[in-house]
Structure 1
Amino acid sequence: MKRWGFVGLLALMACGPESSTRPLSRGQTCPGVVAGEVTTRQGLDSPLPSRVQGDGRQSVLIRFRRGGQTQASRVTATGAELTRATGAKVSAVYRNIPAVAARVNALERFMLEHSPLVESIEEDQRWSSQGLPPALTQPVGASTLGASPSDEYSEGLRLVQGPAVWDANGDGVLDPGAPTGEGVKVCVIDSGLDVEHPEFQGAVVASHDFLEGDDDPTDKSEKGEWGQGHGTHVAGIIGARLGQGGVTGPRLNAGGMVGVAPGASLLIARVLDPQGSTQMSVVFSALEWCESQGARVLSLSLGGGSPTRNSVEAFKAALDHGMLVVAAAGNQGGPVLYPASDPSVLAVGAVDANERRANFSSMGNALGLMAPGVDVLSTFPRGLGTFAEMSVNDLVPMSRSLLYSPTGDALGRLVDCGLGDSLDACQDATCDGFVAYVHPGAVPVDQAMSNVMMQGARAVIFGNEDAPAGGAADILSLPRRGHWAPAVSVNQATGTVLRQRLGTFARLSLVPVDYTYVSGTSMAAPFVSGVAALLWSAHPTLTPLQVREAMEASARDLGTPGRDPAFGHGLVHAHDALQRLQ
């Protein structure tokens, strides 16, 4: 597996001794430095999904007229024959809606539009993941190596009362007979999974890759490069196993973390490509596959587009067939995205560890529940997460590595680089190397990184004085490809300390781990999916609507009393929901 660690080492020192200690002239850069995003995309792009091929055809959904009580599957079979007869390339035939997905050229579409069997032809919408890179929030506490298994319980897990359901005495052991999600299948419709991650051993019972048409759900390109790791993070929130930790580094318990429903069976449906995108037709195929595998809960941390007759019927069929679909509300801060806004889907927004609504979390009357979605710790493809340690003279301030930051060590004077918005932003920059302190927001993170690296920075610290200490701030991430220095973020309190120590020496050490912190409503939705699995584990005969009603009626009310557009019914509480059912 290719890693980016080499770019985080001393390879970023590129100046000769004769000029290395001289301050740079205004706008001057250090010779030989390579910084920034790689221009070629080779190795990071997977093949286009089967429904998105470069053959000049348009991806569409073709819906057929349905007379009387004729079953959708019968209508679809006839329609598929008609579609193929025109020369169109059929990529999916559905059971629950009278439609097929196909790629058509202009002539084929014209022929189909004029067929009496065809009701409508619509564009195959693009949907995308709803996860955000790590926020500048309160960093991890002190090392917990050697601590008890209960230290696998993250802030978010405790917030939704997971341990109160299956570890009432807090001894780090699952209580005999307690509902853990055992016997319940949760289908994760996402970007796939690192199936070899220790946290998922024994958890995955079936999988399918809808992009490559096989049963290997690994989130990788043909060349073996990992995608975003989004699905691995989501799946860990739901069903990571207790006491099966991967590589944790110095700041996490050796057991890693545990999911809300550590006994649930996971079904993995890969629909998102390495860039986090998919098409509506692919999600429809995944819905029907999840049903065929006996799923009770479908977790969708993706969205986009708008409702159509096909989509409304597809999600209604899932509900009618005994499945609860849980979806991320969206990260745009505006109205709830589709499909979370669908009447048959439960929309979930995000709160932070202090039960405050995340500023990115979408709102509206369609919002059902809230769950942790800021700085959420969960599983990540092995070795692709990074945890940071920083020291400045005698202090060891807390920091959080940026997502996709290279690993490695860096030592140098702490230099104020302002906004990082130009090639003369760093005061007293020299080519012998330094640690840059940057205020984010003026330019994109990758541009600020390139600017300060060209001035000799070996590592970069992003601080945000506008963010409250311990609270969420801007969302930062590096591109997955390119030449970057190790980079971390700090909150307001740490930033204040660092600004008082400019000119002193700082050391950064970033180590590869199997976990990371990510923010977004993508992280909130699987918390609710896990709680739903716990309820079904305790009461297998419940209907999806009964499970939903129990979670909504027992939620911790936030904001305006009663249901409101900012918080829906409130924060999901697993133990309280079970108490209500009992």
Structure 2
Amino acid sequence: MKRWGFIGLLGLAACMPDESSNRDAQQNVCPGITAGMLPGKPEATPSNHGRERVIVRYRRERGVTAARVNQLGGVVTAAFRGAPALAVSVTAEEKLALAQDPSVERIEPDPVLRAQGPATLPALSFLSSGVTRSNSISGEYTQELTKVQAAEVWDRDGDGRPDPGAVTGQGVKVCVIDSGLDIDHPELKDAVVAARDFMDGDNVPTDGIDGRWGTGHGTHVAGIIAARPGAGGRGAPVLGERGLVGVAPGVQLIIARVLDLEGSTHMSIVMQAVEYCQEQGAKVISLSIAGGMPTYTSAQVFQAVRESGILVVAAAGNEGFGEVSYPASDPSVLAVGALDAQNQRALFSSYGQALALMAPGVDVLSTFPRGLGSFALVDVDGTQPLARSLLYAPQGETWGTLVDCGSGGMKDSCGEGASCRGFIAYVHPSAFVSPERAVVNVMMQGARGVIFASELMSGDAEIISLPRRGHWVPAVTINQAASTLMQQQLGSTTRLGLHPVDYAYLSGTSMATPYVSGIAALLFSARPSATPAEVTAALLTSAQDLGARGVDLEYGHGLVQARRAMDALLNPTP
């Protein structure tokens, strides 16, 4: 049986139970425990203090001027080359006065957009996870990389590494507009050639501020596109020392941070970033962001960028119903939806007439800010089931008696087995109890760690995300086979550990988008003179048809295929 040493639990000092077994008789909770989300919300941008962000669009014949905005007391936050407009922050009175200015054509909203990764998925979707042991990785190639035929473009001999002189995206710049990047991640540090932080106003696009990490979303997206071969970070037994490789491992990355620490931004900031990408010579812009409604100004900016020779690829959205989200639905943008491991449309993936392509978007392994991913190990009387960390669960090792806590829906759900001296809670997920609520309830009863059972028929463990900011204990999920075994091991001593790694599994149309962005970069690399229209045509005509025969609302043209797209571009049929 493996020996485990107890080390300090990250972030758990305030939430470990008192050594006494006494509990509050009225509330049935252990004293001195803090559990759940932290109050407040850290912002990467100053408060608006009652001001509204809008886009002021001017009549072309009058020209754009900030003089009137400044005179009224408004604040100009951005100007755009591709449209006669200013982004401004105004009070209601200032907005009314601007609307009456004869040089102003209209005042448009400056909508909020959000990352289309785990932070935007419903809590009960169980759609994000830490790193686990996996059979879906061969060398540095993930199952998803193989599914989109990326390695077939640059590893024709199948030896597990790019062929000499192969097309890997060299000479092409891909601009990732997202939450920033762990700029020193081993897989990515040699890929970045330009960067801009539109939240902090500097050239250091770290995914966070003041030492606080953000969502890790941008680091994950960038790795899908450009992770370098043979440059692995800490990957535990999952990846070994070599790590993984991106779709286009020879591309250069431009990083534009536009998301705050909670994964939100405004359209005006995204439009600034789009024009920055254009200045820096990008051929592809990858946008795993969605929200709001189209405006004249945003449509004009995206059209101008496409006409300049840049292909913009965007996430279809995680609403799971209705139409494709904006800006993916813009006619100048290529919309990408998400597939699961069985090539079925992910339940969260938005669809509709604007949907162009599909790519893997469920349980995607990629780079994550160093040390913030977690590798899970569980030991129950010598049995070590496959387990996955909950995303954002704290790292460390703990142990205790395994106690059945049902769904975790009540503060007495663990029954007589609960102890303020500590135990490991075994929880059965319920559609009526969010993972967050279940963890809080069992923590209040003294749980030092949490194991979520699985009802999935597949061999994988279900995947769950906790809110990023909060007091939690180490928490994992296990697969169905292990769940059946656990029922027979209740009362046994259970050891649970989460160990830092530089990778994580995430899900969302955010994860599908960079597969298409990376493949587009391969095509531009093979034919630098290609236009966005030519690259788009190659991607669409070569896609693997899914769903109803031909182009359909749920799958668009189908699963993106790199090798077939390359053949379509270089050897077009008459």
Assess same fold via TM > 0.5.
Answer: yes
What's the CA shift for 1:270?
A: 0.5
Q: Identify unmatched segments of 5+ residues in structure 1.
A: 68-73
Question: Which of 85, 88, 99 is residue 102 of structure 1 equivalent to?
Answer: 88
Match of 1:318 in 2: 305
- Cα distance in 1 for residues equivalent to 2:204 and 2:243: 25
- Cα distance in 2 for residues equivalent to 1:106 and 1:125: 16
Query: Could you tell me which amino acid in structure 1 is paired with residue 178 of structure 2?
Result: D
What's the CA shift for 1:8?
A: 5.2
Match of 2:185 in 1: 197
Deviates more, 1:128-137 or 1:539-548: 128-137
Is contact 2:461–2:478 with CA below 8 Å preserved after alignment?
Answer: no
Q: 1:232 to 1:425 in 2, by over 3 A?
A: same
Match of 2:265 in 1: 278
Question: Which of 145, 149, 156 is residue 168 of structure 1 equivalent to?
Answer: 156
Cα RMSD between the aligned structures? 2.4
Is contact 1:203–1:264 with CA below 8 Å preserved after alignment?
Answer: yes
CA deviation profile, 1:459-509 (whole Å, cap 9, x unmatched): 1011231x3324685x62122233211001223333223223222222211
- Cα distance in 2 for residues equivalent to 1:138 and 1:211: 27
Q: Is residue 2:1 matched to residue 1:15? A: no
Match of 2:428 in 1: 439
- Cα distance in 1 for residues equivalent to 2:143 and 2:11: 33
What's the CA shift for 1:123?
A: 1.8
Give the percent of matched residue pairs that are identical in Structure 1 and Structure 2: 53
Question: Which of 309, 315, 340 is residue 328 of structure 2 equivalent to?
Answer: 340
Query: Could you tell me which amino acid in structure 1 is paired with residue 36 of structure 2?
Result: G
Query: Could you tell me which amino acid in structure 2 is paired with residue 58 of structure 1?
Result: E
- Cα distance in 2 for residues equivalent to 1:112 and 1:159: 53
Deviates more, 1:426-435 or 1:571-580: 426-435
CA deviation profile, 1:26-58 (whole Å, cap 9, x unmatched): 9622233332233365xxx24425xxx434322
- Cα distance in 2 for residues equivalent to 1:139 and 1:492: 18
Q: How does 1:481-496 map to 2 (within 5 A)?
A: 481-496=469-484
Match of 1:70 in 2: none
Q: How does 1:15-164 map to 2 (within 5 A)?
A: 15-16=19-20, 19=21, 28-39=28-39, 45-48=42-45, 53-67=47-61, 75-76=63-64, 79-132=65-118, 135=127, 140-141=132-133, 151-164=139-152
Q: 1:352 to 1:155 in 2, by over 3 A?
A: same
Q: Is residue 2:318 matched to residue 1:331? A: yes
- Cα distance in 1 for residues equivalent to 2:491 and 2:374: 26
What's the CA shift for 1:15?
A: 2.7
- Cα distance in 2 for residues equivalent to 1:518 and 1:106: 40
Match of 2:286 in 1: 299
Is contact 2:155–2:163 with CA below 8 Å preserved after alignment?
Answer: yes
Q: 1:168 to 1:62 in 2, by over 3 A?
A: same
Q: Is residue 2:421 matched to residue 1:417? A: no
Query: Could you tell me which amino acid in structure 1 is paired with residue 161 of structure 2?
Result: V
- Cα distance in 1 for residues equivalent to 2:284 and 2:160: 26
- Cα distance in 2 for residues equivalent to 1:11 and 1:305: 39
Query: Could you tell me which amino acid in structure 2 is paired with residue 291 of structure 1?
Result: Q
What's the CA shift for 1:310?
A: 1.2
CA deviation profile, 1:501-537 (whole Å, cap 9, x unmatched): 2222222111011111100000000110000001111
Number of aligned residues: 555
Query: Could you tell me which amino acid in structure 1 is paired with residue 318 of structure 2?
Result: N
Give the secondary-structure state (helix, strand or coil) at the position aligned to 1:198.
coil
What's the CA shift for 1:135?
A: 2.8
Question: Which of 322, 327, 337 is residue 349 of structure 1 equivalent to?
Answer: 337
What's the CA shift for 1:5?
A: 3.9
Query: Could you tell me which amino acid in structure 2 is paired with residue 507 of structure 1?
Result: R
Q: 1:143 to 1:506 in 2, by over 3 A?
A: farther
- Cα distance in 1 for residues equivalent to 2:420 and 2:25: 11
Q: Is residue 2:479 matched to residue 1:480? A: no
Give the secondary-structure state (helix, strand or coil) at the position aligned to 1:187.
strand
Is contact 1:89–1:103 with CA below 8 Å preserved after alignment?
Answer: yes
Q: Is residue 2:177 matched to residue 1:206? A: no
Give the secondary-structure state (helix, strand or coil) at the position aligned to 2:567.
helix
- Cα distance in 1 for residues equivalent to 2:252 and 2:178: 16
- Cα distance in 1 for residues equivalent to 2:461 and 2:237: 23
- Cα distance in 1 for residues equivalent to 2:128 and 2:116: 18
